[in-house]
Structure 1
């Protein structure tokens, strides 16, 4: 099953350094039967994109808990065998029974630098947005208007090197 794991830049570094990453709370997102049933139309690719967007929103929650973390959402797309639906959390939520190995990663999606300001604002108000605050929902929507860039797994070490040290 293709899963979408919400992450932060330090979590990407951990994935590269340890060659695996344990999901916060054991939770990721995927195209679950409940998610498929909730849409009246849409092909598999479109519905997987919806799961990826749920993971990107969850990445905002991770950022809100870590003040010193760079303000970029990250989502790790991986193929795993051990994911079970968690409809108690969200239609796309799944529970993982173990860490995600770097060897199972299909792609990594990360915000570009231009998104950092909007992502920072959204991370500050994500809880209020979840509770229906209109201004907070607008701030989260502004962050979600930024498309995540796609990186192949083998590009991740180079991305992190450039991110952490800049071009040489």
Structure 2
């Protein structure tokens, strides 16, 4: 199963040094049955993009918790065994939990397919979004508008071999 793990640049550096993600439990995003049901008309590529986008928004929450991290969203795309990515059936249909899975094992760097990272030009919008993401989660329309401004920036694709250059 392809999963999208939200990170920050310091988190990516830890993953690169350790050769694996932090220990579980770890939140990631994937094309789950609930996500498929929500995006009924989406093809596989659109569903993968939706899961990636959910992970990018979760990266904002990580940035909000780490004021010293560079204001760039980071998402690791990796292949994991299906059994290690578990959706919470009680939350599966909640809009804020669509595509969310809990990883029960660390993700080895060797299983990474790519890294998606904001470009430098997104930093101001990402910083503004990270500052208000909690308010957006609670329904503040102005904060939601700011978070959507960060989402307007497409994440750039990097091969795993390019991680040292990103760091």
Do they superpose with TM above 0.5? yes
Number of corresponding residues: 160
- For structure 1, the residue ranges without an aligned partner over 5 or more in a row are 161-168
TM-score by length of 2: 0.92
Given candidates 85, 88, 100, the residue that maps to 1:86 is 88
Give the 3 Å change call, closer, same or farther, for CA 109–23 of structure 1 in structure 2: farther
More displaced 10-residue stretch of structure 1: 102-111 or 91-100:
91-100
In structure 1, the partner of 2:50 is 50
Give the 3 Å change call, closer, same or farther, for CA 121–110 of structure 1 in structure 2: same
In structure 2, the partner of 1:114 is 121
Please give the secondary structure, in 1, of the residue aligned with 2:97.
coil
Give how far 1:135 is off: 0.9
Given candidates 152, 156, 163, the residue that maps to 1:145 is 152
Following the alignment from structure 2 to structure 1, what is the Cα–Cα distance between the partners of residues 24 and 156?
22
Give the 3 Å change call, closer, same or farther, for CA 53–24 of structure 1 in structure 2: farther
TM-score by length of 1: 0.91
Give the 3 Å change call, closer, same or farther, for CA 146–24 of structure 1 in structure 2: farther
Give how far 1:131 is off: 1.2
- For structure 2, the residue ranges without an aligned partner over 5 or more in a row are none
Give how far 1:22 is off: 2.0
Matched, 1:124 2:126: no
Q: How does 1:151-166 map to 2 (within 5 A)?
A: 151-160=158-167
